[in-house]
Amino acid sequence: MTRQAYAPAAVLNRSAGLARPSAYAWYVATLLSAAHLVSFIDRFVMGLLVQPMRASLGLTDGQIGLLQGVAFALLYAVAGIPLGRLADIGARRVLIACGMVVWSIATAACAFAGSFWSLFGARLLVGVGEAALVPAAMSILAAYFTRRHLGRALSLFTTGAALGKTTALIGGAALLGLFLRHSLTIATYALLPWQSVFLVASLLGLFLVPFILTIVEPARAPRTSFDGARLRDALDHIARHAAPFALHTIAACSAILLVQSFGAWSPAYFARVRGYSVVDAGYLVGFITLVTGPAGGLSGGWAVDRLARAGVREAALVVILSGLVIAVPSVLLLVVLPNGILPLIAFALLMFAVSATAGPCLAGLAAITPMLHRGAVTSVYMCVMTFVSVGLGPLLVGVASDHLAKSGGSLGVALAGVTVLVSLIGIAAAIAGRAPVRRLAAVVETQADAGPTSVILPASKEM
């Protein structure tokens, strides 16, 4: 069975960069954002459940860090490159749908885990499934939107992730409270409250799969010597421009490491250090990120587009730099201020700042990458990002917390120490990267502008 693939206006008039995205393009962007939302529910719901899982299974903070970081990131990163290749040549909607089925089933498997290693195996499979989403979604969005509108489209996509974390916290807290009062039993097996939350969370992705399959595949532009989609061509492009790619990636990894670390440990911090119940901590962190996540994400996209219209080609790097600068005093205030409204304001500012960097991390990559390399380059970028940020972020905080606990330190001190160190590394990379990123973005833009402005692309047939 085949489907007709259509060439969106963004592809037909890309050099002019003036075509307004259609209503259908925004529908596709919204649907992909919803998929991102569900993926982050299944990824981050474990952060809410740290305390009951720790008590039930006798886990250390280091093991919790492994489950939230390395276990998820290991196969996510390894599978990302071949799945990115499939995003460049295959049916992207089918790739996303298959990934959703895998990660949903794996999340359900977490509900029946009885040990650290069974949880570790289930988290490995969650990572495999979610590895399909970002390269395929970015490839679709880059085809439906011109570069002048891509920043907002990608920020909508990453805002789905922010809302997913919020939903994991608020919805998960509500479910946890419910299952603390009324246990869930399947056949004769009585689930613990934290296990029941995992099981319910797994159903959302399966519900969304049929809607993902309705996306019309956009046609791919004709291949040229500059924009071939082969992985080796993408790697050659990265190697020829090592400095801008390396510096952008270091800055972006620093920002996303903070996003991942606070997503993994914020509920545990407010429950363990600030004295809230697990359910109340979930509501508190959830409602704060409900406001600051989308506000930060959309503000970051708006800032990138505004700076780009003003001729700042390294606009994404400027926004990442700003977010990292704000993060340092925010986390210090969060840790040192006594209980009350002020540490909550500091936490909200911190969440706003790091959320604003998520969209620019992808938009900045798109600005220095030719269009038909984007799926492959994104897969390489996500491989590095996953190992460094997703894998190491929660683990660094967990190991630091275990170490500090021996000398009377706390989880809050571990969070602050990791945040300051990582932010300073990212700030240095962003400052050093502005000039080389600006030069490469100009080259990529010139190559795109040299293409035809009104070519009717042939329809492609995809399974």
Residue 5: inside a domain, yes or no? no
Please give the tally of structural domains in the chain.
Answer: 1
pLDDT per residue over 343-374, tens digit each?
Answer: 999 999 999 999 899 889 888 888 888 776 77
Least-confidence region, from 15-24, 159-168, 246-255: 15-24
199: pLDDT strictly greater than 60: yes
Q: Decide the pairing of beta strands 461-462 and 3-4.
A: antiparallel
User: Which residues are CB-neighbours of 385 under 8 A, at least 6 positions away?
Assistant: 249, 252, 253, 256, 361
pLDDT at 19: 59
User: Which residue do the tokens 């080609």 mark?
Assistant: 313
Residue 89 in any domain: the answer is: yes
379, burial (CB in 10 Å: exposed 0-12, middle 13-18, buried 19+): buried
**Has residue 4 been placed in a domain?**
no
Tell me the sheet residues that pair with 462: 3
- Say whether pLDDT at 329 is over 90: yes
Distance CA 28, CA 139 (A): 12
Residue numbers of the domain that contains 84: 14-220+229-447
What are the pLDDT digits (tens) for 313-324?
A: 889 999 999 999
Environment class of 117 (CB within 10 Å of its CB; exposed 0-12, middle 13-18, buried 19+): exposed
End-to-end Cα spacing for the chain: 6
What is the model's pLDDT at position 139? 82
Residue 455 lies in a domain: no
With bands split at pLDDT 50, 70 and 90, how would you rate the model's confidence at 382?
A: confident
Name the more confident of 322 and 159: 322
Has residue 294 got a pLDDT over 60?
yes
Domain membership flag for residue 287: yes
- Taking the model in full, what pTM does it have? 0.77
pLDDT at residue 198 tops 90:
yes
pLDDT of residue 14: 43
Is the predicted pLDDT of residue 404 greater than 80, yes or no?
yes
Query: What pLDDT is recorded for position 244?
Result: 92
Residue 458 falls inside a structural domain: no
Tell me, yes or no, whether 1 lies in a domain.
no
Q: Which of 136-145, 165-174, 188-197, 447-456 has the least mean pLDDT?
A: 447-456
Instruction: Judge whether 371 lies within some domain.
Output: yes
Mean per-residue pLDDT, 282-294:
89
- pLDDT value, residue 409: 64
CATH assignment of the domain containing 162:
1.20.1250.20
Q: Is pLDDT of 101 > 80?
A: yes
For residues 416-435, average pLDDT: 94
Residue range 377-406: average pLDDT? 85
Average pLDDT in the chain: 83
pLDDT band for position 131 (cuts 50, 70, 90):
confident
